[in-house]
Amino acid sequence: MTITNWRLPANKNTVQVYPENPHYLMFKGKPMILITSAEHYGAVINAEFDYRSYLAALAKYSLNYTGIYPGAYVEVEGMFIEYNNLAPKIGQYALPWARSNEAGCWDGGNKYDLDQWSEEYFHRLKDFQAEAAKYDIVVEICFFNCQYQEGWHACPLNPANNIQQVGPEDFNDFQTLKYPELVAEQDKYVVKIVREVNDFDNVILEICDEPTLKGTPAPLAVGWIDHLVDVMVKTEAELPRQHLVAQQYMNEVDFTRDDRVQVITTQYIRQASEQVGGVEALDGVYHLNKPVELNETAFYPIWYEGDVAAASRAEAWEFLVGGGAAFNQLNGRFTVPDPAGNTPDNHAILTSLKNLKDFLSGFSFEKMTGGTDFLASRLAEGSLARGMSQARLQYALYLHHSTLKENGVYYIANPGTYKENLVLLLPAGRYRADWILPKENRALQSVVFEHAGGEKTLGSPDYAFDIALRILLII
């Protein structure tokens, strides 16, 4: 793909925490919710991937968020899914380090020289950032992921792949401070990328996803992350822009109370393992008054069962209507052969996310707080619900019927014929209530009512899987 010269965006307002409600973010001075269905984080490192078509596809559906791994973590063909963007074909890896004159890299090419940066790579990285900025798409740059044994042999910081022979023999030592020479190279990599993207406003910086998932002891990973947070913060302190820092919240990796980390990152809707799911974080750390993001779901479509579009929709609607700040569905439909993800099922997925964004835009969401304190009645058996509200003025509720997969990674949709009779606690006023079909963001039923205050019963129309409720005070 030909890369044109990039230009800095004119606006200097970075992504920030919204000061009037720190559960949300703002960009260019306006509150926002980040929402997307994103490719598998390889848009930059996969030289064959046409990220222009990909970003244009997101923008077509009004989606405003994506994420990348910039090079220290890579995968190889055969991992997870066909056309895995993090697993480029041999000869198509675009990584931050230049190749040396010494043969012997895992892919048959020359080894990497960790003292030399690849100009082509950094041109591609900044071009990607500039292209995303054209559409006001925010890019979360996650510097590291835990290493997987299946792909460790391809990592440029594997000692077999660089002329400095830097790196551990055991892939689980990668996320530790055990090897000073390795840590020095990791520091250089973080500093270099932080400096290169500092000119851009549409950036969130994350240290590491899944740091302990494959066996790295949590205390060692925590110390390593703590060090890299310092490196990142100190680097940006001397630069024109300071971007938000994010870190994934796990049971034994907890930076949620660290003032240097402004964004709490989670993965999956719920989790039974050491990771903390998105709705679990809303229950457990929402009171810390930081934005909570769910930056990875199960891998669409291969990890789902049954009505995958409905199950995916439920994840997004439940989390964001429950007060989440950012949602990213991991989507395997954006590939090298089809970077825009032009398939009928993907159209349905992307449309449901656009509908969710439009639904939330119908509120002054930045004034709302997550929770269902306004719901007085118990739900019917099998119903799951999340909501948010601004007392007396606006209320949002989302209900669906799903079974949580045993390991907590995804939902299985339970279609049927459902009806709710909800008892709500509302102050006195004149209200409009709309029952919304999430699949289409279409009102199934609307009613205007005068209320003296206290309990109010609202009956829903029949629905087949999920439904949303919007209640607004009529001024």
CA-closest candidate to residue 71, choices 124, 144, 126: 144
Do residues 253 and 146 make contact, with C-beta atoms less than 8 angstroms apart?
A: no
The DSSP 8-state label assigned to residue 171 in this structure reads G
| Domain assignment present for 439 | yes
Do residues 165 and 208 make contact, with C-beta atoms less than 8 angstroms apart?
A: no
Do residues 71 and 117 make contact, with C-beta atoms less than 8 angstroms apart?
A: no
The domain boundary residue, chosen from 206, 232, 261: 261
Q: What is the pLDDT of residue 382?
A: 86
- Indicate whether 102 and 223 sit together in one domain: yes
Q: What is the pLDDT of residue 381?
A: 84
185-218, pLDDT tens digit by residue? 999 999 999 999 999 999 999 999 999 999 999 9
| Domain assignment present for 182 | yes
- Indicate whether 255 and 373 sit together in one domain: no
* CATH at 71: 3.20.20.80
The domain containing residue 52 runs over which residues?
Answer: 16-261
Do residues 207 and 232 make contact, with C-beta atoms less than 8 angstroms apart?
A: yes
Q: Would you give per-residue pLDDT tens digits along the chain (475 residues)?
A: 434 443 333 346 899 999 999 999 999 999 999 999 999 999 999 999 999 999 999 999 999 999 999 999 999 999 999 999 999 999 999 999 999 999 999 999 999 999 999 999 999 999 999 999 999 999 999 999 999 999 999 999 999 999 999 999 999 999 999 999 999 999 999 999 999 999 999 999 999 999 999 999 999 999 999 999 999 999 999 999 999 999 999 999 999 999 999 999 999 998 867 899 999 999 999 999 999 999 999 999 999 999 999 999 999 999 999 999 999 999 999 999 999 999 999 999 999 999 999 999 999 999 999 999 999 998 888 899 999 999 999 999 999 999 998 777 899 999 999 999 999 999 999 999 999 999 999 999 999 999 999 999 999 999 999 999 999 999 8
- Indicate whether 247 and 382 sit together in one domain: no
How far from 189 is each of 96, 126, 205, 207, 401, CA to CA, in Å?
8, 15, 13, 12, 45
Structural domain count, the chain: 2
How far from 24 is each of 33, 34, 439, CA to CA, in Å?
7, 9, 25
DSSP string, 108-124: SSEEEEEEEE-HHHHHH
The domain boundary residue, chosen from 261, 293, 328: 261
Model confidence, pTM: 0.96
The domain boundary residue, chosen from 205, 237, 261: 261
Taken as a whole, the chain contains a residue count of 475
* CATH at 448: 2.60.40
463-472, pLDDT tens digit by residue? 999 999 999 9
Q: Which helix (H) or strand (E) holds 182?
A: helix 180-197
Q: What is the pLDDT of residue 339?
A: 98
Provide the Cα torsion 88, 167, 209, 86; round to 10°: 0
Pairing of strands 16-17, 34-38: unpaired
Supply the angle between the helices 180-197 and 218-237 in degrees, to the nearest 10.
40
Do residues 116 and 185 make contact, with C-beta atoms less than 8 angstroms apart?
A: no
| Domain assignment present for 434 | yes
Q: What is the pLDDT of residue 243?
A: 97
| Domain assignment present for 38 | yes
| Domain assignment present for 190 | yes
Q: What is the pLDDT of residue 102?
A: 98
Do residues 23 and 286 make contact, with C-beta atoms less than 8 angstroms apart?
A: yes
- Indicate whether 398 and 254 sit together in one domain: no
239-297, pLDDT tens digit by residue? 999 999 999 999 999 999 999 999 999 999 988 678 999 999 999 999 999 999 999 99
What is the rounded CA–CA span in Å between residue 74 and residue 88?
9
| Domain assignment present for 274 | no
- Indicate whether 255 and 390 sit together in one domain: no
- Indicate whether 172 and 53 sit together in one domain: yes
* Residues near 152 by beta carbon (within 8 Å), at least 6 away in sequence: 158, 171
- Indicate whether 187 and 64 sit together in one domain: yes
Cis amide prior to 301 (ω within 30 degrees): yes
Q: What is the pLDDT of residue 3?
A: 43
Q: What is the pLDDT of residue 466?
A: 97
- Indicate whether 384 and 251 sit together in one domain: no
Whether the CA torsion 436, 439, 441, 442 is positive or negative: it is negative
- Indicate whether 32 and 150 sit together in one domain: yes
| Domain assignment present for 379 | yes
One-letter amino acid of 312: S
* Token code pair at residue 400: 């669906």
| Domain assignment present for 105 | yes
